[in-house]
Chain A
């Protein structure tokens, strides 16, 4: 597709379960970012991938969160042992290069932890 694609669009899980969220960036974009937006809040940076470089994980809130990017394209964000405070919209963005900050966002995955 032409834009950033995320799946699933909605995910409901029970506390303590693991979840995987997927992001397909725009073809050819070398940079990929994960953010989350909690209710009524702005977007919070989680992790950033650029090409084959080691990811910038400085925004991950705990070691229950991890992400990988296979083949420089698709990325998966994994949350282990989910907690209720993990409930948020998780947004993925990609950009053709770093520099000016212009990023293209997917529609997000709304995660609800019961």
Chain B
């Protein structure tokens, strides 16, 4: 029973355009949602997060939107750059923060 799902295994966009990565969750007890980026042979690196009390958080080219009623969040990258090509993982934690529950990841390819 996957509590965090990323239904698109891959996404291809043109450089300069917007990339939208989606994530759905089922557990209403999650308090924080995080996006991690992973390059091959490296560990995941933190990108951006959002608290469940907010519906938007922005950091430079990256914006995360949270729709609690739909149990859905999305990561927007604009403008997309070739260096953004990586696997993006959505993750969620409860208020204890003991562990992260990850989605299966979405491979983003940004074409020059």
Q: Does A56 contact B (CB under 8 A)?
A: yes
Nearest chain B CB to A81 CB, angstrom units? 26
Q: Do the beta carbons of A103 and B104 come within 8 Å of each other?
A: no
Q: B residues 61-78 with Cβ under 8 Å of A?
A: none
What chain B residues lie within 8 Å of A71 (beta carbons)? Answer: none
Q: Do the beta carbons of B98 and A56 come within 8 Å of each other?
A: yes
Q: Do the beta carbons of A48 and B46 come within 8 Å of each other?
A: no
Q: Do the beta carbons of A107 and B99 come within 8 Å of each other?
A: no
Cα of A48 to Cα of B97 in the assembled complex, Å:
10
Find A104's partner among B41, B46, B89, B96 (CB 8 Å cutoff): B46
Which of the four size classes fits the interface of chain B? 20 to 34
Known A-B contacts A42-B104, A101-B34; the reply to A108 vs B43 at CB < 8 A is: yes
Q: A residues 18-74 with Cβ under 8 Å of B?
A: 31, 33, 35, 40-45, 48, 50, 56, 59
What chain A residues lie within 8 Å of B105 (beta carbons)? Answer: 42
Q: Does B1 contact A (CB under 8 A)?
A: no
Q: Do the beta carbons of B44 and A91 come within 8 Å of each other?
A: yes
Q: Do the beta carbons of B32 and A100 come within 8 Å of each other?
A: yes
Interface residues of B (CB under 8 A from A): 4, 6, 32, 34, 36, 41-46, 49, 51, 89, 91-93, 95-105
